[in-house]
Structure 1
C-alpha cells in the first residue's frame, strides 16, 4: 500500500495545478493585457490535454511499464513548470500549461490502473479512497495556496510548486516493479481521431458552439467507422460490448455531471449572494474539502467491508441532504454553507470511490488501462458539460424561484439549481441502485 500513498501525494499536486490558476487569471490578464476569453485558455488548454492524456496514458499502460510512463510524464510536468516559471509572454505560459497537462495527466490514469494491478479486490476500495482523498485535498488547498502566493509574490511561482512532483519518481520506480504489459501495436491514427473528437467536444461545450458540435459529430462518426475496421484500434470497440462496463460508465457520468460542478457553483453563490471575496470563499470551502479528503479513506474501507452499493447509498443520501438544505437556506449565513459543504463533499468523495471501484470490477486484462482511462476522461467531459449548462443559466437568469421563505423572500436562481440537483440525485439513486447492487452480487 506504500505506492498508493505516493500516488495520492502526486494526485494532490496534479489537482492543485488544475485549480490554482483559476485564482491567478486576473493577474495574468492584467500583466499581458488580455481579454477574459483569451486568458481563459490558461485553464481551457489544461483541461483539454488533461482529458486526452488520461485515456492516452491508460492505453499506453497496457503496452509500457507504469514506472516508465510515470517517469516520462512527471519529467514532462516539470519541464512545463520550468517553462511557465520563466515565461515572458502569454504564449510561453500556454506552452508551459500544455506541457504540464501532458505530463500531469499520467497521474489520474495511474490512480485508476495502479489500485487494480497492485491491490487485491478485497482492499481496492481503500486504495481508491486514498487516491480520492488526494484529489479532494488538492482541490481544497489549491485555491488557498494560489491566493497566498498571488497576494505576496508573482503568479509565476505557482508553476514552481509543481516541481515537487519530481520527488515521487524514485518511489514509483522502486515500488512499481511487477508490471505486466501486453505488447501491441500503437494505433496512431485512432489516437489522433480520439484526441480530435475530445478537443472539439470540449471546445464546443465551453464555447457553446453549434458548429464545433457538428464537427465533433463528424469526427466521432469517422472514429467509430475506423475502429470497427482497424486490426488493433486505439479504442477497442469490444470494450463497449462489455454490458456491465458500458452501463456503469453511463451511470457514473450521469451521477457526476452536476456533482462535479459544485466547486464551480459554490464560489458563484458566495460571491453574488453572500458578497465574499475570492480568498474568503476559499477559506469557507476549505474545511469541507479537507474533511472529505480524510473521510475518503473511511469510504474506501466501507466499500471493502460493506460493498460499493452500500457506500453509494450513503453517498447519494449525503448529497441529497446537502442539496436540499442549501436550496432551503440560500441567502443565509455563509457558515451554514461551510457546514453543509462538509456533508456534500464527503458524499461526492464517497461517490467517486464507489463508482471507480464499481467500474474497475467490470474490466480484466488489457481492457483495464484504456477502460479506466476512458472513465477519467468521461468524468472530465461530464463536469465540463454540467459547468457549461450552469454558466448559461447564471448568465441568463436575472430572477428565479426560491423555496426558502425562512431567511429571505428574494428570488434566487441558486436555490432553484440546488433543488434541481437534489431531484437529479434522487432520480439517479432510484434508477441505478438496483443495477449496481445486482452487479456486485454476481
Structure 2
C-alpha cells in the first residue's frame, strides 16, 4: 500500500504517538524534582539516589536502538504492546515499592517499556508519510515531548504537595489508554523471521554504551577502557558475521554518518537550555525550585503550540529553510542570554522561549533530513541509533557543563560571568553548525551524500 493511501491513518497514529510522548516525557522529568525526598526517605547519599535517573537514561537510550532493530524484523503492533505493558508494569512495581532497591527495579522496568516510544515515533512517519509530508508528522512527536516537559514539573510539584512521591509512578499507567488505538490503526505487516537476531552484537553495544556513559559521569578511566574494548568487539562482530546487529553499510552512507555527527553536536548545544537555565536562575537569581519551574513553563507551552508548525515549514520550504530559522532563533537566544544576565529573571524566561522554539524546530529539521536518507529496510535501526546518539550527547554535555561551572567557581569567577561565557561559546558553535549543515547537506550533491 502506498504512503499516500496510508497518510490518513498515519495522521491518526501521530496523535496517539503525541499522547504517549507526553506520558514518556512526564515520566522522565518528574522524578528529577523529587530526588531530595527519595534520598531522605531511604537515607541515601547523593550518588546513590542519582541512580533513579541514571538507570532510566541508560536503559532508555540503549532500548531505543534495540526496539528500532526489532521493528525492522517484527510487527510494530506487537512491539508496542509489549513495551507499553512493560512500562505500566514497571510503574506499578514502583508504586507499591517499600525499599530503594524496588524503586530502582520499577524505574528500570519503566525504561525497558518506555524505550519503545521514541523508537516507534521515529518509524511511523517513515512508514506512513511520504517525504514531503513527513515533517509535520515528526513535529507532532516533538509537540508531545514539549507538553510532557511542561506538565512534568508542575504535576510533580502538585503530587508532592498533597501526597507521597510514590504516587508519581501512577501517571505512567495511563499510557495503556493508547494501546487500543495502536491496535486499531497500525496496519498488519508482513515480516520475515528468517534472519536470526545478533544478540551477542547487541550485548557488546549495550556494554559499550553503558560503560562509556558511566565513565563520563563518574570520570573513570577503567570504565572508559571497558567501553573502548566493547566497541572494538562490536566492530569486529559486525564485520565478521552475515547478519550483524547493525549493518556496516548503514554507516557507508555519507549523509547518514554526517547527520549523526551533527545530531551529536547539536544535542549537546541544545541541552544547555533545559540544563543551564535552572542552574542559572538558582545560582545567579537565587530563585526557589517552584519559581524556576514557573519561569520555564511558558517556553515549553509555546514550543508545544508551534511544534507542528515547524514540521509544516520543513514540508513546504524544506529542511534547510527550517534549519536556518531555528539556528537564528538559537543564536539570538544565546546572544541575549549572554548580554542580559544582570536584568530581571523575566528576561531570561522570554529569551528561553526563543531558544526552546529553535530547539524544537532544529531537531525536526535534522530528524527529517536523516529519515529521507535511510533505506526503508534500515529505517528502524537507523533512527534508533540517532536516538541513542542524542542520549549519549546529552550525557556528555551535562557533565561538561557541570565541570565548566565547577571550574569557574574554584577559580573564583562570578557565576554570572561563567554563564555569560558559556552562552558566548554556544553562540559561536551554533553559527559553525549552521554553515556546516548547509555545506554538507545542500552544497554537496544529494548523490554524494547517499553514496
TM-score band, normalised by shorter chain: over 0.9
Kindly indicate whether the alpha-carbon contact (under 8 Å) linking 1:401 and 1:415 is maintained by their aligned counterparts in 2. no
Following the alignment from structure 1 to structure 2, what is the Cα–Cα distance between the partners of residues 316 and 396?
29
Following the alignment from structure 2 to structure 1, what is the Cα–Cα distance between the partners of residues 36 and 233?
40
- 1:137 corresponds, among 117, 138, 147, to 147
Match of 1:412 in 2: 417
User: Equivalent residue of 1:244, what SS?
Assistant: helix
Match of 1:95 in 2: 105
Following the alignment from structure 1 to structure 2, what is the Cα–Cα distance between the partners of residues 417 and 6?
38
Kindly indicate whether the alpha-carbon contact (under 8 Å) linking 1:61 and 1:181 is maintained by their aligned counterparts in 2. no
Kindly indicate whether the alpha-carbon contact (under 8 Å) linking 2:208 and 2:230 is maintained by their aligned counterparts in 1. yes
Match of 1:269 in 2: 280
Following the alignment from structure 1 to structure 2, what is the Cα–Cα distance between the partners of residues 385 and 361?
27
Match of 1:209 in 2: 220
User: Equivalent residue of 1:226, what SS?
Assistant: helix
Following the alignment from structure 1 to structure 2, what is the Cα–Cα distance between the partners of residues 180 and 132?
29
Kindly indicate whether the alpha-carbon contact (under 8 Å) linking 1:400 and 1:412 is maintained by their aligned counterparts in 2. no
Give the CA deviation at 1:242.
Answer: 1.2
Matched ranges for 1:426-437 at <5 A: 426-437=431-442
Give the CA deviation at 1:439.
Answer: 6.4
Following the alignment from structure 2 to structure 1, what is the Cα–Cα distance between the partners of residues 16 and 134?
16
Query: Relative to structure 1, is the Cα distance of residues 182 and 423 closer, same or farther in structure 2, using a 3 angstrom cutoff?
Result: farther
User: Is 1:423 the counterpart of 2:428 in the alignment?
Assistant: yes
Following the alignment from structure 1 to structure 2, what is the Cα–Cα distance between the partners of residues 208 and 337?
32
Match of 1:7 in 2: 17
Following the alignment from structure 2 to structure 1, what is the Cα–Cα distance between the partners of residues 421 and 316?
37
Give the CA deviation at 1:400.
Answer: 7.8
Aligned length: 436
Match of 1:160 in 2: 170
- 1:192 corresponds, among 190, 203, 206, to 203
Query: Relative to structure 1, is the Cα distance of residues 310 and 151 closer, same or farther in structure 2, using a 3 angstrom cutoff?
Result: same
Q: Which runs of 5+ in 1 are unaligned?
A: 403-408
Match of 2:383 in 1: 372
Which whole-Å deviations, capped at 9, do the CAs of 1:102-129 have from their partners, x for residues lacking one?
A: 0000000011001000112121000000
- 2:50 corresponds, among 37, 40, 48, to 40
Give the CA deviation at 1:140.
Answer: 1.6
Give the CA deviation at 1:315.
Answer: 0.7
Match of 1:406 in 2: none
Please, what TM-score do these two structures have when normalized by structure 2? 0.94
Give the CA deviation at 1:401.
Answer: 11
Following the alignment from structure 1 to structure 2, what is the Cα–Cα distance between the partners of residues 139 and 263?
10
Which whole-Å deviations, capped at 9, do the CAs of 1:156-182 have from their partners, x for residues lacking one?
A: 111000001000000001111143534
Kindly indicate whether the alpha-carbon contact (under 8 Å) linking 2:273 and 2:355 is maintained by their aligned counterparts in 1. no
Give the CA deviation at 1:399.
Answer: 7.1
Greater CA drift, 186-195 or 170-179? 170-179
Match of 2:80 in 1: 70
User: Equivalent residue of 1:166, what SS?
Assistant: helix
Greater CA drift, 154-163 or 241-250? 241-250
RMSD between aligned residues: 1.6
Give the CA deviation at 1:190.
Answer: 0.6
